[in-house]
Amino acid sequence: MPQKGGLAVPILALALGHVLSNAVRTLPALAADRMQASLGLSPEGLAAVTGTFSLAFALALVPVGVGLDRLGARRTALILLAVAGLGAVLAALAPGAWTMLLAQAVLGAGCAGMLMAPMTYAARAVPPSRFGLWSGIILTFGNTGMLLSGSPLAWLVDWQGWRAGYWAMAGFALLALLAVALVVRQPPPARRDRTSLWQDAREVLAIAASPALRPLMVFGAASFATIIGLRGLWGGPWLMEAKGLTRIEAGHILTACALAMTLAPVFCGWVERRLGRPTLMLAGSHLAVAGLILALLAGRGLPPGWDAAIFVLIGLLVSVQPVAFGQARAAVPPERAGRALSALNIAFFAGAAALQPISGLAASRGGVGAALASLAVALIASGTGFLLLRRRA
């Protein structure tokens, strides 16, 4: 059982890692031009290099899920924060593309459990009926990391360059590590069996492929990929290239989008508890966001206020992950919560790892607008596939 001091402090301390994860993976959106010039990369090359973050993240989720169930949230989080801090230092020092690729891989592996640690802690500490609310709180708190990588990052990049952003992330990782070490006291869960690490890893994959999670895995394939593609990479270039905004002006719009993403998750969790229509909420969000992206492209000649409104609406509608996490949590017993949540997160980040290079290829052929259009296509395919699998279940 968690410590007697209450749930909020240890959960929020663990969620500091999610703040870090959101900030570091969306950092390139407002530093893409400087990073390309410094590292000798094309837009397609930068998409491939930064996509390594998502690939490493997805690959690390299986051992992270096992670690959360074997070691507990505290020990797992401390290890991962140390790895993420190392990755941020490597990125800040990267002299070229291959070193940055390595840095992104280390960052992705280190950030792989930053959301799952507080989620798993909460899953074991609160009843299933309240987990959706707590997952919304965790996502809302963690999404403040995207506020850090908006206007504050734009100012920092203009002042000190893109490397300063990664140094700031390394410092934040150290602060988060100290916070977890000081306030989280949840012991690792008691082992109820003597399964091997390989058997535990196979169970994560089995849960991912189970009928109960299969529709959610299809949903997840485009869910986070859209957030990282729009807010983490292509949003800044679209605003600066297609709209002619300065880095600071683009940062303000992306900050507004991040603020919407920060407020929306806890609201989505509340709405799902009231309405009880998770399938409609999940599929509807994907199809609506796809339409908004197409509207963004259609309004290329309109004033920047149009783009700002679209970005905010996307931020509000795309942030339905608490509903998906609540559905995954309800599908398994509490002692398997870490595995189930990690299985769903595999879909989120494997989708991002696959779609980011695809969007980079689209950008190389048709510009940033084509990259954004590829996200809309993925959302339509994912939302439709999710609905079809739900009907068969």
User: DSSP string covering 288-357, please?
Assistant: HHHHHHHHHHHTTTS-HHHHHHHHHHHHHHS--HHHHHHHHHHTS-GGGHHHHHHHHHHHHHHHHHHHHH
User: For position 2, what pLDDT does the model report?
Assistant: 44
Q: Are 344 and 328 in contact (CB under 8 A)?
A: yes
> Could you tell me the CATH number of the domain that includes residue 29?
1.20.1250.20
The pair of three-digit structure tokens given for residue 332, joined into one six-digit string: 């398994």
Q: pLDDT band for position 187 (50/70/90)?
A: low
Range of the domain at 360: 8-186+204-392
pLDDT tens for 227-257 read: 878 877 788 889 988 889 988 888 889 888 8
Give the residue-averaged pLDDT of 307-318. Answer: 91
Lowest mean pLDDT among 104-118, 318-332, 347-361: 318-332
Average pLDDT along the chain: 84
Q: pLDDT band for position 355 (50/70/90)?
A: confident
In this predicted structure, the answer to whether residue 128 has a pLDDT above a threshold of 70 is no
pTM given for the model:
0.73
196 domain-assigned: no
Q: pLDDT band for position 196 (50/70/90)?
A: low
Q: Are 191 and 200 in contact (CB under 8 A)?
A: no
User: For position 296, what pLDDT does the model report?
Assistant: 94
User: For position 129, what pLDDT does the model report?
Assistant: 66
Nearest to 254 by CA among 243, 270, 265: 243
Q: pLDDT band for position 159 (50/70/90)?
A: confident
**d(C-alpha 216, C-alpha 279), whole Å:** 10
User: For position 297, what pLDDT does the model report?
Assistant: 94
Nearest to 267 by CA among 143, 364, 145: 143
Lowest mean pLDDT among 80-89, 147-156, 298-307: 147-156
**d(C-alpha 328, C-alpha 308), whole Å:** 33
Q: pLDDT band for position 16 (50/70/90)?
A: very high
210 domain-assigned: yes
In this predicted structure, the answer to whether residue 1 has a pLDDT above a threshold of 60 is no
Phi and psi for 309 in degrees, rounded to 5? -65, -40
The total of structural domains in the chain comes to 1
**d(C-alpha 252, C-alpha 150), whole Å:** 7
11: Cβ contacts below 8 Å, ≥ 6 apart: 118, 121, 122, 134, 137, 138
In this predicted structure, the answer to whether residue 269 has a pLDDT above a threshold of 60 is yes
197 domain-assigned: no
Phi and psi for 115 in degrees, rounded to 5? -85, -40
Number of C-beta neighbours around residue 305 at 10 A: 10
Buried b (16+ CB within 10 A) or exposed e, 320-351: bbbbbbbbbbebbebebbbbbbbbbbbbbbbb
* Percent of residues, the chain, with pLDDT higher than 90: 29
Residue 138 burial (C-beta neighbours within 10 Å; 0-12, 13-18, 19+) = buried
The pair of three-digit structure tokens given for residue 44, joined into one six-digit string: 């397609």
* Residue ranges in 161-213 assigned as alpha helix (H): 162-183, 197-209
In this predicted structure, the answer to whether residue 138 has a pLDDT above a threshold of 60 is yes
Give the residue-averaged pLDDT of 331-352. Answer: 76
Give the residue-averaged pLDDT of 166-174. Answer: 94
pLDDT tens for 43-77 read: 778 888 888 888 888 888 778 877 887 788 889 99
41: Cβ contacts below 8 Å, ≥ 6 apart: 35, 49, 97
Place of tokens 């082992």: 191
At CA 112, angle to CA 278 and CA 268, rounded to 5? 25
User: For position 105, what pLDDT does the model report?
Assistant: 94
199 domain-assigned: no
In this predicted structure, the answer to whether residue 81 has a pLDDT above a threshold of 90 is yes
191 domain-assigned: no
The pair of three-digit structure tokens given for residue 71, joined into one six-digit string: 């070691």
Q: pLDDT band for position 178 (50/70/90)?
A: very high
In this predicted structure, the answer to whether residue 219 has a pLDDT above a threshold of 70 is yes
Give the residue-averaged pLDDT of 94-102. Answer: 91
User: For position 171, what pLDDT does the model report?
Assistant: 95
The pair of three-digit structure tokens given for residue 203, joined into one six-digit string: 């169970």
